[in-house]
């Protein structure tokens, strides 16, 4: 039986992360409190501010390091599942056998088990490098690896304009970490008739999307039921990751890129961007968006 989807905005992290900050810095759920000098209208005040955590996170498959990325240290098992599937390290969710994260003061590691028949291909594609927070294609060695995923998505959902804009309005209130720090991206899974079902946050837009994908995979959710709403731009890698796992509708609050539009057109994915409370622009496959 598929697990129930977690509530939107579930930080999921925190008991294991509490107390993991550096000396003199108060730790919280993927955020820390720091002492600052705040200058406003000519006056300076010694006070506190809350900032998002950003740590090196290593993904290790069967004891073999694959990639180190900078990420927000919450929902790391979701990140591992989403990354493994969206990067096509496995062909289907059932080939991910498990993931377990461990946390140190200044780093984290996720140990992932996959089907052994996939392991030789993973070794050939090892990306032993440190990836920047915003990195999408870091470590890709060939053009074929970079521009992949040429399949087409399924029928996908029918989304009314009212449902789309209700989610656009709602997502801000469903990002607790961004509300307290102002520095993280969000990826929300929206099901027509139900609204936002879950949200994942991270300092990296790709990581936020992979966390949301991973949460859906772990819950056994149907990727054709809803659409992904992201607070970032719609870059090629974001569209590619969504299409790879069968998500047929992506809406971004910021701009798309030309390559993202081309990939959306080729894969059959509906791409909406520049989404605001009272406007949006549809760049590819508008048939899923209904009045």
- Residue whose structure tokens are 């890698």: 237
Does the annotation mark 251 as catalytic? no
Q: Measured between alpha carbons, how far is 67 from 124 in angstroms, rounded to an integer?
A: 13
- Of 12, 36, 35, the closest CA to residue 25 belongs to 35
Work out the burial of residue 140: count CB atoms within 10 Å of its CB; fewer than 13 is exposed, 13-18 middle, 19 or more buried: middle
Work out the burial of residue 105: count CB atoms within 10 Å of its CB; fewer than 13 is exposed, 13-18 middle, 19 or more buried: exposed
Q: Measured between alpha carbons, how far is 201 from 74 in angstroms, rounded to an integer?
A: 8
Catalytic residue among 85, 135, 190, 228: 135
Residue ranges of alpha helices (H) inside the chain are 76-86, 119-124, 143-146, 161-170, 176-181, 205-219, 236-244, 258-267
With a CB cutoff of 8 Å and minimum separation 6, the contacts of 225 are 157, 191
Core vs surface per residue 39-61: b (16+ CB within 10 A) or e: eeeeeeeeeeebebbbbbbbbbb
The catalytic residues are 135
């Amino acid at each position: 039986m598929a697990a129930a989807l977690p509530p939107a905005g579930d930080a999921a992290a925190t008991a294991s992360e509490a107390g993991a900050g550096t000396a003199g810095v108060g730790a919280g759920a993927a955020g820390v409190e720091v002492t600052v000098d705040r200058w406003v209208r000519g006056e300076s005040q010694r006070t506190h501010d809350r900032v998002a955590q950003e740590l090196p996170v290593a993904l290790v498959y069967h004891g073999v390091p694959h990639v180190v990325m900078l990420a927000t240290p919450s929902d790391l098992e979701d990140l591992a599942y989403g990354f493994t599937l969206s990067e096509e390290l496995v062909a289907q969710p059932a080939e991910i056998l498990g993931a377990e994260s461990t946390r140190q003061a200044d780093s984290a590691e996720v140990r992932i088990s996959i089907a052994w028949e996939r392991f030789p291909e993973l070794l050939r594609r090892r990306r032993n490098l440190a990836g920047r927070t915003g990195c999408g294609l870091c470590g890709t060695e060939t053009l074929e690896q970079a521009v992949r995923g040429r399949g087409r998505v399924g029928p996908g959902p029918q989304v009314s304009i009212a449902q789309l804009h209700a989610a656009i309005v709602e997502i801000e209130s469903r990002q607790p970490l961004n509300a307290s720090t102002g520095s993280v991206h969000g990826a929300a899974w929206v099901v027509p008739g139900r609204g936002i079902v879950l949200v994942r946050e991270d300092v990296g837009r790709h990581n936020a999307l992979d966390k949301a994908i991973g949460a859906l995979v772990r819950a056994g959710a149907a990727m054709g039921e809803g659409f992904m709403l992201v607070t970032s731009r719609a870059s090629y890698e974001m569209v590619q990751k969504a299409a790879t796992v069968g998500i047929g509708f992506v809406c971004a609050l910021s701009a798309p890129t030309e390559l993202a539009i081309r990939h959306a057109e080729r894969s059959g994915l509906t791409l909406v961007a520049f989404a605001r409370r009272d406007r949006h622009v549809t760049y590819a496959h508008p048939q899923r968006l209904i009045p």
